[in-house]
Homo-oligomer: A and B are copies of this chain.
């Protein structure tokens, strides 16, 4: 039911393995560099938050085909025995340069580059895109929410609606990096050390004959962390019952932590509930809002000074509802000594291994320049760091709070206009003259060698 880690090398596209067998038989296994980047922004996006690298590096370190996996491949009847023998001993021995998790990056910039023998670099493509696409997508979406909530806490409630179990885990991690305060996902909380948060469900309330009985029961059991869901029947009457419980708790020297509202007109109901709580003297009882919220709702609630202390967000964030994928590609940019690119309609790529330089002015991010990997720019930070050498990570993985802080610091230095929820301008990303020149040179060469002779052959064929 869950994917077994032992089988993970098989979690790849068939063509990665048929191409690999071809490379193997043809001895076409020089060092290759692949570049991972996003071709264009999803609607209304102006930045990406690098996320997913740790999973990729763990995968590469542990990469191997188990005897069971080899057996399964044998049974498909597609592969030759000598190739399967070769796969048994295959390990990832390459280098990885990457933009660290939590850093910002932009369209066309390589978030990661793999340099390894062609077979290794090819086979790992599918998993690398799968993980970095998802985690970057969610971290970027979550960052928009945190920004829109303007200091109010945002909690991940998405596990039930994430696209599968792996996404449930990665959404909790990615959204925490982007500044969420907690997750409802217990396994993610204990696995990643993310604070856990939760309230109660409508089912809890309706399982009791009277709503107030449900509130009493919960408060008896969790006097330190009771957040009562008050709109199973009606939010205002629910708030009144919550006040009764809060009074009883106060008499016992306890305090009600909060109430949650999960449906209806959140702005109006929240204000009314705040007023009722305040009038009863419960200024410290927090109000949590939830129910299909996304960053646009949070921004509206923030702008109108809504009465919520924190928000729980689920579905729309956990699947990045308005933009559930990025146009992420893992492209061969160099084979052996030869920089390469493709000319496919609308998908022309930049050749060769690269570096990204981030220019900062007066503490603010100013622009980036994509250059070839061997260019240097004085006093400008190169973003791609060597994170894996010869198949081994170059340093211990940073702790999650460190990545979270890295994001917070850099995001604070990004101009507000690029954080606009709707149609932000494009952050300036330049191409170095050197890279531009190389690109044009290769394009001319490809047009000359790959297109003209064939067009010539078309004519010949027509005449023959």
Contact = CB atoms under 8 A, between A and B. Distances in A.
Contacts of A157: 13
A162 interface: yes
A397 B206 CA distance: 34
Contact of A25 (B162, B184, B205, B221): B221
A13 B455 contact: no
Nearest to A321: B324
Contacts of A19: 200-201, 203-204, 218
Contact of A5 (B1, B118, B263, B458): B1
A449 interface: yes
A394 interface: no
A134 interface: yes
A59 B13 contact: no
A15 B201 contact: yes
A400 interface: no
A129 interface: yes
Contact of A14 (B122, B184, B208, B344): B184
A106 to B, nearest CB: 20
Contacts of A390: none
Contacts of A91: none
A49 B406 CA distance: 44
A284 interface: no
A332 B207 contact: yes
Interface in A194-241: 196-211, 217-218, 220-222, 225, 231-234, 236-238, 240-241
A141 to B, nearest CB: 12
A7 interface: yes
Contacts of A32: 203, 207
A240 B202 contact: no
Contacts of A206: 332, 335, 340-342
Contact of A163 (B76, B163, B208, B225): B163
A58 B1 contact: yes
A10 B190 contact: yes
A358 interface: no
Contacts of A450: 210-211, 233-234, 237
Q: How many interface residues does chain A have, given as a range? A: 35 or more
Nearest to A13: B184
A238 B186 CA distance: 52
Contacts of A100: none
A337 to B, nearest CB: 11
Nearest to A336: B207
Interface string A47-85: 000000001001100100000000011011010000000
Given A203-B122, A210-B449, A130 B160 contact: yes
Interface stretch (A165-173, A363-371, A418-426, A427-435): A165-173
Interface string A258-271: 00001111000000
A18 B163 contact: no
Contacts of A76: 189-190, 196
A325 B292 CA distance: 11
A344 B202 contact: yes
Which of A2, A191, A225, A321 counts the most chain B CB atoms within 10 A? Answer: A2
A252 interface: no
B164 A167 contact: yes
Interface of A: 1-5, 7-8, 10-19, 21-23, 25-26, 28, 32, 34, 55, 58-59, 62, 72-73, 75-76, 78, 118, 122, 125-127, 129-131, 133-134, 137, 157, 159-170, 184-187, 189-191, 196-211, 217-218, 220-222, 225, 231-234, 236-238, 240-241, 243-244, 262-265, 280, 315-316, 319-321, 324-325, 328, 330-332, 335, 338, 340-347, 446, 449-451, 454-455, 457-458, 461
